[in-house]
Copies of this chain bind each other. A is one copy, B any other.
């Protein structure tokens, strides 16, 4: 839809220093081949798994990125850039290579989600935008996965768009949610764009706008056979009784009831008893209202007879871990491995590959990070997506992404799928060759 095509004009969604550095490189004639790696440094305390999402989308966006003359003219007005450099920007088309983890791959600290190899100026230009694009979906998919895990097979539906951080978060968030295994979304435009089924019930305001709760519920059930009716606007027990009357006495087709406030566990138990006593076992009970993974798990541990969850605010902003320390670092320039010597930050130079290694039972037992062309056991995860500026594999279908998530989760240690912090993270080792390379570069820096 229009928002996607428009994104290709987002080149100026960047930090000013990218452009001033670029002009310096342009002056110095520094435009040899560079490799930058996009990775995160530390697992957030509230997460055991991060799902890499958005990196293939970002790579494709980059391959189409351009700077409309209108935007270049606005830069010119800053009186910071020379005409020759602005012309370079206006002519910009990405010409490099991008390797990515397939969308939805669980990714651990230090592992590249994406590596870009391109003339230095091109690769540098893309830093801020790439990070912004990948960060959003990776953060949201990783949070949503926890809802899916907590719900233990019951459907989880996204109700969060109203408190997500703007329209882009709300729209691409749905993409991340589909990857993470959500069953549906209330977000119409997001669901249509990304193929996640649309779900919805009714708001309390709908009931309030009517003089009678009964009339409001009746109209809805007539209009939308199999719909979900919200029963707790005034009193949930009385609301459930009204639903029973509509179904038994008036023959209407109601699929589910929704509870949205108060003691959800107790209300769900009461409602289930009322419905069962009326012979309405097939009517499901959905709950919403301030839910997160811990409340979902708590409700189920409490034996609440809940058939599905609508989750909004805390998932939509990934409230307990709203950011990830994603970094984009130069690791190679002009065929020399590069490294920033930061105390406490263990960075490794050069182009890399990530190998996911399996034990005899088919379970993942560790990842091994090697130099790009170094052989190793296991499944090589980084795949070429853009070559010489052009996509070299099909755009990721979200159903394939979703399958990719499921396939990886099945083989990961179970402890990582718990909501509680794992005692130790998934093992990630660097190859001897990378260790040696790192030592060599560090010695050169000191020399």
A: which residues have CB within 8 A of B? 2-3, 6-7, 9-10, 12-21, 23-25, 27-28, 30, 34, 36, 71, 74-75, 78, 80, 120, 124, 127-128, 131-133, 135-136, 139, 159, 161-172, 186-192, 198-206, 208-210, 219-220, 223-224, 227, 233-234, 261-262, 313-314, 316-319, 322-326, 329-330, 333, 338-343, 445
Ordered by A's residue number, 22 sampled pairs between the chains whose C-beta atoms are within 8 Å are: A7-B167, A10-B167, A13-B161, A13-B190, A15-B161, A15-B187, A17-B200, A17-B202, A17-B203, A18-B200, A20-B223, A20-B224, A20-B227, A21-B205, A23-B223, A28-B219, A131-B162, A131-B163, A168-B168, A261-B342, A313-B323, A317-B317
Neighbour of A6 across the interface among B6, B13, B338, CB < 8 A: B6
- How far, in angstroms, from A71 to B34 measured CA to CA in the complex? 43
| Cross-chain contact A36 with B135 (CB below 8 angstroms) | no
Instruction: For A326, list chain B residues within 8 Å (CB).
Output: 162-163
| Cross-chain contact B168 with A74 (CB below 8 angstroms) | no
- How far, in angstroms, from A170 to B132 measured CA to CA in the complex? 8
Instruction: For A223, list chain B residues within 8 Å (CB).
Output: 20, 23-24, 27
From known contacts A6-B6, A234-B445, infer whether A166 and B168 are also in contact, taking CB-CB under 8 Å.
Answer: yes
- How far, in angstroms, from A18 to B161 measured CA to CA in the complex? 13
Q: Chain B's nearest CB lies how many Å from the CB of A404?
A: 23
From known contacts A14-B189, A186-B17, A203-B17, infer whether A219 and B24 are also in contact, taking CB-CB under 8 Å.
Answer: yes
| Cross-chain contact A159 with B15 (CB below 8 angstroms) | yes
| Cross-chain contact A166 with B165 (CB below 8 angstroms) | yes
From known contacts A16-B199, A189-B14, infer whether A234 and B341 are also in contact, taking CB-CB under 8 Å.
Answer: yes
Instruction: For A19, list chain B residues within 8 Å (CB).
Output: 188, 200
Q: Chain B's nearest CB lies how many Å from the CB of A34?
A: 7
| Cross-chain contact B162 with A16 (CB below 8 angstroms) | no
- How far, in angstroms, from A139 to B199 measured CA to CA in the complex? 27
From known contacts A136-B165, A198-B78, A313-B323, infer whether A339 and B13 are also in contact, taking CB-CB under 8 Å.
Answer: no
Other than the known A15-B200, A20-B220, A322-B322, what 4 A-B pairs have Cβ atoms closer than 8 Å?
Answer: A20-B202, A132-B161, A132-B164, A209-B330
- How far, in angstroms, from A170 to B333 measured CA to CA in the complex? 30
From known contacts A132-B170, A219-B24, A316-B323, infer whether A165 and B165 are also in contact, taking CB-CB under 8 Å.
Answer: yes
Instruction: For A135, list chain B residues within 8 Å (CB).
Output: 162-163, 165
Instruction: For A132, list chain B residues within 8 Å (CB).
Output: 161-164, 166-167, 170
Q: Chain B's nearest CB lies how many Å from the CB of A260?
A: 10
| Cross-chain contact B163 with A323 (CB below 8 angstroms) | yes
| Cross-chain contact A20 with B161 (CB below 8 angstroms) | no
Q: Chain B's nearest CB lies how many Å from the CB of A232?
A: 9
User: Which of A166, A172, A313, A317 has the most CB atoms of chain B within a 10 A radius of its CB?
Assistant: A166
From known contacts A19-B188, A189-B12, infer whether A233 and B319 are also in contact, taking CB-CB under 8 Å.
Answer: no
| Cross-chain contact A166 with B169 (CB below 8 angstroms) | yes
Q: Chain B's nearest CB lies how many Å from the CB of A406?
A: 26
| Cross-chain contact A338 with B208 (CB below 8 angstroms) | yes
Instruction: For A201, list chain B residues within 8 Å (CB).
Output: 17
- How far, in angstroms, from A135 to B170 measured CA to CA in the complex? 12
Instruction: For A120, list chain B residues within 8 Å (CB).
Output: 209
Neighbour of A188 across the interface among B14, B27, B316, CB < 8 A: B14
From known contacts A15-B200, A21-B206, A208-B340, infer whether A169 and B162 are also in contact, taking CB-CB under 8 Å.
Answer: no
Q: Chain B's nearest CB lies how many Å from the CB of A130?
A: 9
